[in-house]
Amino acid sequence: MMKILGIETSCDECAAAVVEDGRRVLSNVINTQIPFHAAYNGVVPEIASRKHIEWIQAVVQEALDKAGLDSDGIDAVAATNRPGLLGALLVGLNFGKAFAWAKKIPFIAVDHMLAHLYASRLDISSDVPPDYPFLGLLVSGGHSIICRADSFDSISVIGATIDDAAGEAFDKVSKHYGFGYPGGAVIDTLAKSGNPGAFHFPLPNLSGKNPCDLSYSGLKTAVIHQLEQFRTGGASIGTDPLNPADIAASFQKTAIEILLRGLYSAVEKTGIKTIVAGGGVAANSLLRSSLAQRRDLRCIFPPLELCGDNGAMIAGIGYRYLRRGESSPLTVTASARVEGFKRKLHEE
């Protein structure tokens, strides 16, 4: 039995968890900074770093307490070191390194996006984990990637956004309409009482380009333009004729259609029929219900609480590296980006 402490501070969640043998979540503490960033309608990097510095020790302590362990009960430490906000990453990375050094236990630096892809493996209620290769649908606030996964740490990008990430589109639309921050969960909830057919927003024209790619800037612009039309027409939010729920439902319908179109193109291109989703947008109810209807595909989602950023996915994937006899030197540093995750525009 191996108990790994996982630490995640790449963005605005200060999170730590203890996971046994890469599957059983013993504790999963997620302290969100959202209230501190909400006034700015986005994550303020300096505030994020400072809050992580203030909170990290208490969050790790809580994760140990909830797992019923003290620091001696931990066999290894894993922490996110890429990609993310550099100043935020450094807090969890360095705390994790110091913990491992003090306890003379192995340390593993983890890629945040690979960890999102691993998150569904932590669902012990699910039956057999999917066989490789499978298609990965990695959709978060900073990335939108459709990939082929050949192992837990080997993915090749099949399609990616050529402009905004999926979660970013939800956040930006929400910001413009004043729905709240972050936008994903707010729009998802609002959309439930709206009419998805109320507005017709355009799908991106990817003809002649990679059909597995995604694009959100056109949709975002069209939805925001709709607001301008309401403004010049003298309407205000919350009164007729602008019904926020209709905007949310119509936007969400198109946003998810864009994702599904890219994903189904990847299914066609590769013939792979198993899909594993991860990242904050994987919590989207329309995405989940739409994919559930495709009986010909096996679609695996993490439980809702493991879609967004958390320490359990970090501890989980950390275990896989250790099982392979790998760990990181304590000189390992952080990186804001990961090469190869953002498809270059000129690439086909």
Residues that bind ligand KG4 (CB under 6 A): 11, 140-142, 167-168, 170-171, 182-185, 188, 279-281, 283-284, 308-309
The least distance separating Zn ion from the CB of residue 279, rounded to whole angstroms, comes to: 6
Nearest residue (CB) to ligand KG4, 76 versus 166? 166
Q: Which does 284 bind (CB under 5 to 8 A by kind): Zn ion, ligand KG4, none?
A: ligand KG4
SS3 262: helix
Q: Which does 182 bind (CB under 5 to 8 A by kind): Zn ion, ligand KG4, none?
A: ligand KG4
Q: Which does 111 bind (CB under 5 to 8 A by kind): Zn ion, ligand KG4, none?
A: none
The least distance separating ligand KG4 from the CB of residue 266, rounded to whole angstroms, comes to: 20
Nearest residue (CB) to ligand KG4, 279 versus 318? 279
The C-alpha atoms of residue 158 and residue 148 are separated, in whole angstroms, by 7
Nearest residue (CB) to Zn ion, 164 versus 309? 309
Q: Which residues pair with 272 in a beta bridge?
A: none
DSSP secondary structure letters along 292-309: HT-TTSEEE---GGGTSS
- 206, 242, 207, 197: which is closest to 224 by C-alpha? 242
Distances (CA, A) of 149 to 118, 134, 138, 274, 295: 11, 5, 11, 10, 21
The least distance separating Zn ion from the CB of residue 298, rounded to whole angstroms, comes to: 23
The least distance separating ligand KG4 from the CB of residue 280, rounded to whole angstroms, comes to: 2
The least distance separating ligand KG4 from the CB of residue 337, rounded to whole angstroms, comes to: 13
Nearest residue (CB) to Zn ion, 49 versus 140? 140
Strand blocks (E) in 161-231:
none
Distances (CA, A) of 169 to 201, 222, 250: 13, 11, 13
CA atoms within 13 A on the CB side of 302: 31
The least distance separating Zn ion from the CB of residue 13, rounded to whole angstroms, comes to: 8
- Inter-residue contact 100 to 76 (CB < 8 Å): yes
Nearest residue (CB) to ligand KG4, 246 versus 309? 309
The least distance separating ligand KG4 from the CB of residue 200, rounded to whole angstroms, comes to: 20
Nearest residue (CB) to ligand KG4, 213 versus 309? 309
Q: Is residue 174 near Zn ion by the rule CB under 5 A?
A: no
The least distance separating ligand KG4 from the CB of residue 328, rounded to whole angstroms, comes to: 21
Draw the binding track, 301-330, toward Zn ion (x: CB under 5 A; -: no contact): --------x---------------------
- 80, 51, 15, 37: which is closest to 171 by C-alpha? 37
Buried b / exposed e over 213-252, threshold 16 CB at 10 Å, is: bbbbebbbebbeebbeebeeeeeeeeeeebbbbbbbbbbb
| Positions in 114-153 near Zn ion (CB under 5 A) | 140
* H or E element at residue 110: strand 107-111
Nearest residue (CB) to ligand KG4, 106 versus 118? 118
Q: Which does 196 bind (CB under 5 to 8 A by kind): Zn ion, ligand KG4, none?
A: none
Fill in the amino acid letter for 25.
Answer: V
The C-alpha atoms of residue 134 and residue 137 are separated, in whole angstroms, by 10
Nearest residue (CB) to Zn ion, 213 versus 309? 309
> Which residues would be at the binding site for Zn ion (CB under 5 A)?
140, 309
